[in-house]
């Protein structure tokens, strides 16, 4: 049987960069990131490196003629909507790439790759000097602190010096500069966007990990991909920096070194939504069949499942309207959907800050009998006391769950299997069971229930 084709049209972006045999940075990172952002990635290889998660063991720069041949092949055939440059290795390549992009009327993102995350040099001194002319054609330059110092003579150590360095890049001809804050010592990561219209700082929590291999390449590629889709610069930078926070937190544990950023993290997280919702539905069904009415609190019960890289309530599946007691047992008020829980979902997300492997939670009623039944669980029981909750926390909507989870985990020696909230006036006492998978959640809930029934 002959079938009619159904072609898909995607915007095209071009990366001009070096190859990373370790797969975490360079051309490999660029193409993965572009594909993850819904963009068809084309490539021009400037250099072939022998590297892995531990460092660079060797590099070979391709002849300029070969670089130009690749550029000609791509640009003569594809409707390229954005260009991203990475490792250019040597001055002749930098000058050649400058000629290639100078005639293009598309956004050009320049990631001035000069030193690998491992500290190995990736650009010679003549190449650094040649960057001045390339920057004149940049829609955006994305240097880290060390690269900014080489290009401008100013090393960003705070937002003020980052602005100064960014303004110097604008004076060199760039339309905008994103001064990356990953290498700047601070509690948060502050990426400073400097344009002719002013300065904006994008602040994200710092993830305490050394697994940042490929972060610069991935960020620049994410911005270029968004520009290729027609997004304006500010939204492209905002979206890409938020994407990078997740890509670093849920990094890939590969190689014997620190590991690599997760280029497909959002794509994989989105793909896991259906299986997460189905897992919650199975737990709901098992609770109905087992009749867990003895565990249902007055406010109702909810079962929450988080996608593997969940960072927001909208990425948690739960029962809409909760599970309530009936004359014949328990019943979910409606179906399972994402964003249906607020209270339990926020608590689970807060718990994941201490143990990201946790993916499921359920809230149960709490009294002396339940407390006694909890002692039969194989694991640590922790709690928090609302009487010690600071007034400024109480005044912030939704912040109690974050504060409570923090107190409970800090007082435990490991990850608790259950966390008790003894409540206060107007707040029902609750215990939340936590688990990494649904089978574990069911075992713990049914163990408590069986003890109560006996």
Domain containing residue 326: CATH number: 3.40.225.10
Is position 94 within any domain?
A: yes
Is position 2 within any domain?
A: no
In this structure, the answer to whether residues 128 and 225 fall within a common structural domain is: yes
Residue 385, classed as helix, strand or coil, is coil
Q: What is the pLDDT of residue 39?
A: 98
Q: By mean pLDDT, which of 71-80, 201-210, 334-343 is the weakest? A: 201-210
| Alpha carbon 274 to its chain's center | 20
- Residues 406-415 have pLDDT tens digits of 999 998 999 9
Is position 314 within any domain?
A: yes
In this structure, the answer to whether residues 245 and 321 fall within a common structural domain is: no
Of the chain, the percentage scoring pLDDT greater than 70 comes to 97
In this structure, the answer to whether residues 170 and 305 fall within a common structural domain is: no
Question: What's the angle, vertex CA 365, arms to CA 360 and CA 367, rounded to 5?
Answer: 130
* Dihedral sign of CA atoms 38, 39, 43, 48 in order: negative
Contacts 24+ apart (CB under 8 A), 265-273: 265/309, 266/36, 266/309, 267/36, 268/308, 268/309, 269/307, 269/308, 269/309, 269/310, 269/315, 270/307, 272/307, 272/308, 273/307, 273/315, 273/317, 273/338
In this structure, the answer to whether residues 234 and 370 fall within a common structural domain is: no
In this structure, the answer to whether residues 242 and 281 fall within a common structural domain is: no
Q: What is the pLDDT of residue 366?
A: 94
Q: What is the pLDDT of residue 242?
A: 94
Number of domains forming the structure of the chain: 2
Element at 275 (helix H, strand E): helix 273-290
Is position 1 within any domain?
A: no
Strands of 303-306's sheet in order across? 336-338, 316-319, 303-306, 360-365, 430-435, 418-421, 381-384
- Among residues 344, 272, 266, the alpha carbon closest in space to that of 311 is found at 266
Is position 96 within any domain?
A: yes
Whether the predicted pLDDT of 268 surpasses 80 = yes
Domain end residue (candidates: 214, 236, 264)? 264
In this structure, the answer to whether residues 168 and 281 fall within a common structural domain is: no
In this structure, the answer to whether residues 243 and 292 fall within a common structural domain is: no
**Confidence grade of residue 228 (pLDDT, cut at 50, 70, 90):** very high
Mean residue pLDDT across the chain? 92
- Residues 392-431 have pLDDT tens digits of 777 676 678 888 899 999 989 999 999 999 877 778 899 9
Is position 5 within any domain?
A: no
The rounded distance, in Å, linking the Cα atoms of 322 and 280 is 12
DSSP state, residue 207: P
Is position 4 within any domain?
A: no
The rounded distance, in Å, linking the Cα atoms of 194 and 196 is 7
Instruction: Report the length, in residues, of the chain.
Output: 454
- Residues 17-32 have pLDDT tens digits of 999 999 999 999 999 9
Domain end residue (candidates: 203, 238, 264)? 264
How large is the average pLDDT for residues 223-228?
A: 98
Residue 447, classed as helix, strand or coil, is helix
Residue 17, classed as helix, strand or coil, is strand
In this structure, the answer to whether residues 121 and 210 fall within a common structural domain is: yes
The rounded distance, in Å, linking the Cα atoms of 347 and 361 is 9
The rounded distance, in Å, linking the Cα atoms of 309 and 197 is 35
In this structure, the answer to whether residues 226 and 284 fall within a common structural domain is: no
Q: Which residues contact 408 (CB under 8 A, 6 or more apart)?
A: 382, 383, 384, 416, 419
| Alpha carbon 13 to its chain's center | 22
Domain end residue (candidates: 222, 246, 264)? 264
Whether the predicted pLDDT of 254 surpasses 60 = yes
- Residues 280-336 have pLDDT tens digits of 999 999 999 999 999 999 999 999 999 999 999 999 999 999 999 999 999 999 999
In this structure, the answer to whether residues 50 and 154 fall within a common structural domain is: yes
In this structure, the answer to whether residues 72 and 178 fall within a common structural domain is: yes
In this structure, the answer to whether residues 239 and 294 fall within a common structural domain is: no
Is position 63 within any domain?
A: yes
CATH number of the domain that residue 225 is part of: 3.40.1190.20
Residue 177 corresponds to which tokens in the numbers above?
A: 């500069």
Q: What is the pLDDT of residue 115?
A: 67
Domain limits for position 439: 272-453
């Amino acid at each position: 049987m002959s079938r009619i084709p159904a072609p898909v049209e995607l915007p095209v972006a071009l990366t001009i960069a070096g190859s990373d045999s370790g797969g975490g940075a360079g051309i490999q990172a660029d193409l993965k990131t572009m594909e993850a952002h819904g963009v068809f990635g084309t490539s021009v290889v400037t250099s072939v490196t022998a590297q892995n998660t531990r460092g660079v063991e060797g590099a070979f720069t391709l002849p300029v003629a070969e670089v130009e041949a690749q550029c000609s092949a791509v640009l003569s055939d594809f409707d390229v909507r954005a260009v991203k440059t990475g490792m250019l290795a040597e001055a002749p390549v930098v000058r050649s790439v400058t000629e290639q992009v100078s005639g293009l009327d598309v956004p050009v993102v320049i990631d001035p790759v000069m030193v690998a995350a491992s500290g190995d040099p990736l650009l010679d001194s003549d190449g650094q000097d040649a960057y001045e002319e390339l920057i004149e054609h940049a829609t955006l330059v994305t240097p880290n602190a060390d690269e900014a110092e080489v290009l401008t003579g100013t090393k960003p150590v705070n937002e003020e010096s980052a602005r100064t360095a960014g303004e110097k890049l604008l004076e060199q001809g760039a339309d905008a500069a994103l001064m990356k804050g990953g290498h700047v010592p601070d509690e948060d990561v502050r990426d400073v966007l400097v344009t002719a219209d002013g300065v904006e700082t994008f602040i994200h929590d710092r993830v305490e990990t050394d697994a940042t291999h490929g972060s610069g390449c991935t960020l620049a590629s994410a911005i270029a991909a968004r520009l290729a889709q027609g997004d304006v610069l500010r939204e492209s930078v905002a979206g890409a920096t938020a994407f990078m926070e997740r890509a670093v937190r849920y990094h890939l544990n590969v190689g014997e070194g620190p590991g690599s950023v997760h280029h497909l993290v959002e794509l994989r997280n989105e793909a896991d939504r259906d299986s997460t919702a189905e897992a919650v539905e199975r737990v709901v069904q098992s609770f109905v069949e087992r009749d867990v009415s003895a565990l249902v609190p007055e406010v109702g019960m909810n079962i929450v499942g988080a996608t593997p890289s969940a960072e927001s309530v909208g990425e948690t599946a739960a029962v809409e309207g909760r599970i309530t007691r009936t004359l014949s047992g328990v019943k979910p008020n409606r179906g399972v959907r994402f964003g249906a829980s607020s209270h339990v979902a926020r608590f689970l997300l807060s718990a994941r800050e201490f143990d990201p492997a946790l993916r499921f939670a359920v809230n149960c009623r709490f009294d002396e009998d339940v407390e006694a039944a909890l002692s039969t669980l194989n694991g640590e029981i922790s709690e928090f006391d609302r009487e010690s909750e600071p007034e400024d926390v109480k005044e912030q909507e939704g912040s109690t769950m974050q504060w409570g989870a923090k107190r409970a985990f800090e007082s435990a020696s490991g990850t608790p299997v259950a966390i008790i909230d003894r409540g206060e006036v107007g707040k029902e006492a609750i215990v939340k069971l936590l688990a990494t998978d649904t089978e574990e959640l069911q075992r713990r809930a049914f163990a408590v229930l069986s003890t109560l029934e006996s």
